[in-house]
Structure 1
Amino acid sequence: MAQSASSARAWIGTGVFLFLAPGIVAGFIPMLISGWRPHDWGGAAWVVPVAWIAIVLGVAFLLHAFALFALHRGTPAPVAPTETLVVTGVYRFVRNPMYLAVLTIILGQALLFGSWWLVLYAAVALTAVVTFVKGYEEPTLTSTYGEQYLDYKRNVPGWWPRLTPWRG
């Protein structure tokens, strides 16, 4: 019973965090910036399917990465982390798939809505994320998981995915 309660809390917490963090960063703020008004690309209509592919792939990777945290009975939120280091699924290819997925969603919207303001917002978001990762997340993971995280960090790039999955 305790395990199912822990699992339920993990799924609920993960869902709430998904709504609050990426939902605001990749949904609400881009809506405020762009009004979600599609751009008329005219002769360059091929941009629209490219934009949608970026958005859909970003959402799919984001949901997959979030689900892995719930499956490990925790959340991506720093206040309710997993008990074990998450190094499965997309995390075998890149250490920061959630951040990359969010940036992909924002840039897909920038294309779809023809918004340079969203491109600028993506650059600001990237700067904030890298600062958070380097200043808080990596030191915290190192102190929490020690050599296990350092081995993972040595073998899996933070921002540019590996071509083959890490099997450490």
Structure 2
Amino acid sequence: MKFSRPLIKAFLIFPMNVMGVIPAFLIWCSRPGGVLERFPYSFSNVRSLVAMLLIAVGAGLCWKTVSLFTEYGEGTPAPFDPPRKLVIRGPYVYTRNPMMVAVCLVLSGEALLFASVPLGIWFLIFLGLCLILIPLWEEPDLEKRFGESYRQYKQKVPRWLH
């Protein structure tokens, strides 16, 4: 992966906030004395193993998708530096939105790891936004930018997983 200012900026704006800053803030608010202390977090060894697996798979998939955007798409996931080429390899062969699948894996893993109601709600909010914004905003934009090649890709590859 080629590191560039737009790529670093893209990571700081989206993944770091969605998967790191917001969850950390919610956990901090759930501590004793915090505004969300009614929803304390807890740990369990078995639950932690499953959660760490979800987080590891999600983080690895996120890294892979961003790498593909920079290497083959000549851009980043950020709206201010979008890929100039349509990326249809790697995990993009199985789903049109592997990056969002990756983020959902991480968020669900974090909610499970901490057994946190606020993190579970954050995951559901993020998932709901994906279900609304991808078909209403992202897909029309991709059709406009990539034309017939994106329409053909849409016919072959599901928005989410089968």
Task: With the length of structure 2 as denominator, give the TM-score of the two structures.
Answer: 0.85
Offset at residue 99 of structure 1 (A): 0.8
Equivalences for 1:17-36 in 2 at 5 Å? 17-35=10-28
1:125 paired with 2:126, answer: yes
1-side partners of 2:129 and 2:88: how far apart?
23
1-side partners of 2:91 and 2:8: how far apart?
19
Offset at residue 124 of structure 1 (A): 0.7
Task: With the length of structure 1 as denominator, give the TM-score of the two structures.
Answer: 0.83
Contact 1:65 1:90 in 2 (8 A): yes
Find the counterpart in structure 1 of residue 157 from structure 2: 156
Contact 1:69 1:76 in 2 (8 A): yes
CA offset digits 1:101-144 (Å, max 9, x no partner): 11110110111111021111111111112222112110011111
2:65 corresponds to which letter in structure 1? A
- Matched residues, number: 151
Find the counterpart in structure 2 of residue 12 from structure 1: 5
Please report the RMSD computed on the Cα atoms of aligned residues, expressed in angstroms. Answer: 1.9
CA offset digits 1:60-109 (Å, max 9, x no partner): 00000001111022111122122210111111111111111111101101
- State the percentage of identical aligned residues: 32
Find the counterpart in structure 1 of residue 70 from structure 2: 70
Structure 2 unaligned regions, length at least 5:
32-40
Equivalences for 1:5-154 in 2 at 5 Å? 11-35=4-28, 39-41=42-44, 45-71=45-71, 72-154=73-155
1-side partners of 2:99 and 2:132: how far apart?
15
Offset at residue 24 of structure 1 (A): 0.2
Contact 1:14 1:69 in 2 (8 A): no
Moved over 6 A (4+): none
Offset at residue 52 of structure 1 (A): 0.3
1-side partners of 2:100 and 2:80: how far apart?
18
Structure 1 unaligned regions, length at least 5:
1-6, 162-168
